């Protein structure tokens, strides 16, 4: 490994990232074909933005002209807390307990890119985290961070699947990961068996329209379909069932990133409080958190659905 590649790895770990990999900036042909097939099956539901400019999702040079390499980074977000077993409260997905991960990850990516441009003559780059048209999971696999689990999340040996993924696309060559991590799911079907709605229709294939996370976060309809409403299992925002049952998550480690600790020690939220929120109190309550993604109308729809099951 070149001294530059290793120095960037060391700096990324110093900034707080937990895993670092490097991939050549080239088109994702096989992964792009799978994406197109998934879209053709209408498994993306109302997430219409996934259909727009699919070529950008598979070719980093269309996002950042001059792209030569991707620095792919993972940040562990696991904190050792549990949901409150209170039917008057709705469970929040672990990734949304603390500060908005977009802000946390992007800040670290920018710090790393600023350091790179100060150290490498002529270096330029672009930071990407989730909202950019980049296939984060595909690049994480290519860069050797982990493998794609049957639940479609990236799994690492060190941290399980409790990771956020981000990239920096740069205009210079690096040493690239030559071996990807083999699939270690084997014959296990724990995630498929545990999904209450059968959203994991086959290994590595998720129908978003049947997924609790999609329904409680992305869906804008005023009501749930019967398969969702009858199988919420207490989830107000998101769902962690497929990750909670994954045997590889026995290797989970508490993160040192304090921003991911539950705000106000909350892992669940009182349903009546959600239903009493006004647009103003909602905006203040969930400022700089991922929960705002569901919007007030979505959260209150979710709360009403949960209350109807009490």
pLDDT at 1: 54
Q: Does residue 64 carry a pLDDT above 90?
A: yes
130 noted as active-site residue: yes
Rounded distance, CA 61 to CA 133, Å? 12
Average pLDDT over residues 78-105: 96
Mean pLDDT of all residues in 36-42: 95
H helices present in 195-244, as ranges: 212-217, 226-229, 241-244
130 band by pLDDT with thresholds 50, 70 and 90 = confident
Share of the chain above pLDDT 90, in %: 93
Rounded distance, CA 290 to CA 102, Å? 8
Residue 17 and residue 108 in contact, taking contact as beta carbons nearer than 8 Å: yes
CB 224 within 8 Å of CB 240: no
Confidence band of 8 (pLDDT split at 50, 70, 90): very high
Residue among 159, 154, 172 nearest 5 (CA): 172
Task: Kindly name the residue from 130, 175, 183, 270 that is annotated as catalytic.
Answer: 130
Given pLDDT bands bounded at 50, 70 and 90, which one contains residue 131?
Answer: confident
Q: Taking a C-beta distance cutoff of 8 angstroms, is the pair 306, 215 a contact?
A: no
Please, which pLDDT band fits residue 310 given cuts at 50, 70 and 90?
Answer: low
Mean pLDDT over the full length of the chain? 96
Nearest to 43 by CA among 240, 191, 214, 192: 214
Give the separation between CA 120 and CA 290, rounded to whole angstroms. Answer: 34
Mean predicted confidence (pLDDT) in 119-144: 95
d(CA 225, CA 227): 6
pLDDT of 269 over the 70 cut: yes
Domain ranges of the chain: 3-81+95-170, 190-250+263-307
Token pair 């709705």 in the structure block, residue = 90
Q: Give this prediction's pTM.
A: 0.95
Question: What integer pLDDT is reported at residue 24 of this predicted model?
Answer: 97
Q: Kindly indicate the confidence band of residue 52, based on its pLDDT and cuts at 50, 70 and 90.
A: confident
Q: Which two tokens stand for residue 214?
A: 């999609």
């Amino acid at each position: 490994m070149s001294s530059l590649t290793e120095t960037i790895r060391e700096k990324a770990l110093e900034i707080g990232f937990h895993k670092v990999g490097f991939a050549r900036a080239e088109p994702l042909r096989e992964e792009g074909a799978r994406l197109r097939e998934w879209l053709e099956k209408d498994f993306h539901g109302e997430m219409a933005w996934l259909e727009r400019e699919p070529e950008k999702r598979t070719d980093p040079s269309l996002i950042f002209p001059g792209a030569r390499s991707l620095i792919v980074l993972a940040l562990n977000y696991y904190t050792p807390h549990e949901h409150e077993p209170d039917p008057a409260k709705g469970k929040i997905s672990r990734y949304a307990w603390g500060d908005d991960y977009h802000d946390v990850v992007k800040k670290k990516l920018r710090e790393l890119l600023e350091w790179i441009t100060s150290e490498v003559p002529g270096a330029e780059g672009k930071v990407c985290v989730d909202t950019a048209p980049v296939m984060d999971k595909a690049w994480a696999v290519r860069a050797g961070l982990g493998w794609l689990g049957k639940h479609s999340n990236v799994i690492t040996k060190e941290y399980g699947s409790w990771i956020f993924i981000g990239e920096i696309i740069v205009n210079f060559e690096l040493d690239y990961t030559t071996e990807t991590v083999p699939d270690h799911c084997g014959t296990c079907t724990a995630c498929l068996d545990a999904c209450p709605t059968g959203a994991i229709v086959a290994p590595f294939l998720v129908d978003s329209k049947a997924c609790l996370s999609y329904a409680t976060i992305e869906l804008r309809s005023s009501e749930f379909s019967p398969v969702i409403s009858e199988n919420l299992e207490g989830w107000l925002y998101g769902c962690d069932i497929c990750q909670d049952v994954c045997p590889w998550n026995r290797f989970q480690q508490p993160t040192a990133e304090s921003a991911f600790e539950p705000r106000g020690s909350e892992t669940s939220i009182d349903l009546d409080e959600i239903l009493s929120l006004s647009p103003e109190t909602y905006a203040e309550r969930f400022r700089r958190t991922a929960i705002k993604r569901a919007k007030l109308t979505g959260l209150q729809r979710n709360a009403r659905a949960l209350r109807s099951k009490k």
